[in-house]
């Protein structure tokens, strides 16, 4: 399996279509990334995260033949995860919430660098996590998701467009509005 780790997602998918045993490489490659994404987007327990991931990988495995290889595989698997989270919230009957870990500290600096504004840099690093969570939870859900995809998951506009199934122009508009709204919230 180690020989497969250097392959691109596209190359792996082609192999998986011929030999399903290679699917484990995809699981290894995306397990931690998707786990972090689920934890950021929810209050899910460790067991919930494992259950959601299991459902994601089952759906990916079952639908791998339907995957359009002209699309980015990463976007496709994140879209499945995003939909699985929505299903989980419906079943759990709770409101979407955020959870950040220490690796997320510095996100306001990333946003600040991207916007060429210093407004996001004024927060004490120790308190930043608390401010980010409170501020992001006050944003409209679609704006929150755009910021998470762009700055926490490092997704491109095109990938975000694929994941959320919205036009690239809408991604740009929502991202700009999200940053402006976040700045207003943090100024208060």
Task: Pick 126 or 130 by higher pLDDT.
Answer: 130
For residues 188 and 169, give the distance between their C-alpha atoms in angstroms, rounded to a whole number: 29
Is the pTM higher than 0.75?
A: no
Grade residue 126 by pLDDT with cuts at 50, 70 and 90. Answer: very low
172 or 135, greater pLDDT: 172
Residues with Cβ < 8 Å from 67, sequence gap 6 or more? Answer: 13, 73, 76
Quote the tokens at residue 75.
């976007």
CATH of domain 102-187: 1.10.10.10
**141 or 81, which is more confident?**
81
State the pLDDT confidence band at 119, using cuts at 50, 70 and 90.
low
- 12 neighbors 66 (Cβ within 8 angstroms): no
Model confidence at 125, pLDDT cuts 50, 70, 90, reads: very low
Q: What is the pLDDT of residues 161-171, one digit of tens each?
A: 999 999 999 99
Instruction: Give the start-to-end residue ranges of the domains of the chain.
Output: 2-92, 102-187
Q: What's the CATH number for 2-92?
A: 1.10.1740.10
142-158 pLDDT tens trace: 898 898 899 888 899 99
15-24 contacts, C-beta under 8 A, 24 or more apart: 16/64, 17/64, 17/65, 20/61, 23/61, 23/64
Could you tell me the maximum CA-CA distance found in the chain, to the nearest angstrom?
Answer: 56
């Amino acid at each position: 399996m180690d020989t497969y780790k250097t392959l691109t997602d596209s190359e792996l998918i082609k192999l998986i279509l011929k030999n399903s045993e290679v699917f484990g490489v995809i699981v290894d490659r995306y397990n931690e990334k998707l786990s972090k994404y689920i934890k950021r987007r929810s209050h899910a327990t460790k067991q919930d995260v494992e259950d959601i991931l299991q459902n994601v990988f089952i759906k990916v495995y079952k639908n791998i033949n339907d995957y359009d290889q002209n699309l980015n595989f990463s976007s496709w698997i994140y879209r499945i995860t995003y939909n699985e989270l929505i299903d989980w919230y419906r079943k759990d009957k709770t409101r979407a919430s955020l959870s950040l870990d220490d690796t997320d500290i510095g996100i306001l600096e990333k946003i600040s660098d991207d916007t060429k504004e210093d407004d996001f840099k004024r927060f004490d690093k120790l308190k930043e996590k608390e401010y980010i969570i409170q501020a992001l939870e006050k944003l409209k859900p679609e704006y929150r998701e755009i910021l998470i995809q762009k700055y926490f998951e490092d997704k491109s506009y095109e990938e975000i467009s694929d994941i959320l199934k919205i036009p690239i122009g809408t991604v740009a508009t929502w991202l700009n509005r999200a940053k402006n709204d976040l700045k207003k919230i943090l100024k208060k």
